[in-house]
Amino acid sequence: MKIDILTLFPEMFTPLSASLLGKAREKQLLTINVYDIRKFSQDKHSKCDDYTFGGGAGMLLTPQPIHDCINFVDSEHKAKRIYMSPKGVTLTQQVVKSLAEEEHILLLCGHYEGIDQRIIDLDIDYELSIGDYVLTGGELASMVVVDAVSRYVDGVLGSSQSVVDESFSNNSLEYPQYTRPQVFCGLSVPPVLISGNHQEVDKWREEQSQLMTKRFRPDLLNKD
């Protein structure tokens, strides 16, 4: 999978070179390119923002640098072009799975008060939000998308089963999990998990998953 990220602050994306994502990039399972929008500005001072027409607080990213950057990166519009925005479709596990089927994703990070609407009209396929709150920019939101989607790329995770037995995979939360030591601070691992009876273990996990979902996210049980 190829992921291109367009931003005013490329230095924020250092974490994408660490942990599992860093290893996936080293193995060429995942290609992540970060482009500095400012380098495409035709302003002599590389300015990329200006005041909004009609007044209002804050600055807005101007269309020229973004438009030129997008067309440099994806001149034939082969990528799924996504603008990270509070107005966008909410990121869910189903959306993540859908994005994971794409070969090429382009993520545009807004900043300040956002971007000129004409960029959305001309260059963006759809807008995506990671939740009902506002960030200072789209950089952190983009990293969330990259992390979530990358988990579905073959070879990124140690086990393909990891994306099956996890929260939200079947409209439910994941069951509690335990490791050594068997007793910690007076609390013991549930006996069924050390019984060796895999059928009973599976049954216990399913029951716990349902209990956790009813307790913390009952809304998930009503989804199709």
DSSP for residue 119: H
pLDDT given at position 125: 98
Is this prediction's pTM over 0.85? yes
CA quadruple 156, 158, 161, 165: dihedral, nearest 10: -90
Alpha helices in the chain (DSSP H): 19-26, 63-73, 93-100, 117-123, 139-150, 198-216
Question: What does the mean pLDDT of the chain come to?
Answer: 93
Amino acid at 138: G
Is the link from the previous residue into 10 a cis peptide, with omega within 30 of 0? no
Instruction: Please say if the pLDDT value at position 161 is more than 60.
Output: no
Confidence of residue 57 (pLDDT cuts 50, 70, 90): confident
| 1 contact partners, CB below 8 Å, separation of at least 6 | 29, 30, 31, 100, 102, 103, 104, 105, 149, 150, 153
Band (183; pLDDT cuts 50, 70, 90): very high
Task: Examine the pLDDT at 46 and tell me if it is beyond 80.
Answer: yes
Is the pLDDT at 51 greater than 80, yes or no?
yes
Task: Encode pLDDT of 128-139 as tens digits.
Answer: 999 999 999 999
For 75-124, the pLDDT digits (tens) are 999 999 999 999 999 999 999 999 999 999 999 999 989 999 999 999 99
| Longest CA–CA separation in the chain, Å | 71
Is 71's pLDDT higher than 70? yes
pLDDT at residue 221, as a whole number: 87
Provide the CA 117 distance to its chain's centre, in angstroms. 23
How far is Cα 132 from Cα 87, in angstroms, rounded to an integer?
A: 9
Distance, in Å, from the CA atom of 66 to the CA atom of 116, rounded to the nearest integer, reads 9
Distance separating alpha carbons of residues 159 and 141, to the nearest angstrom: 26
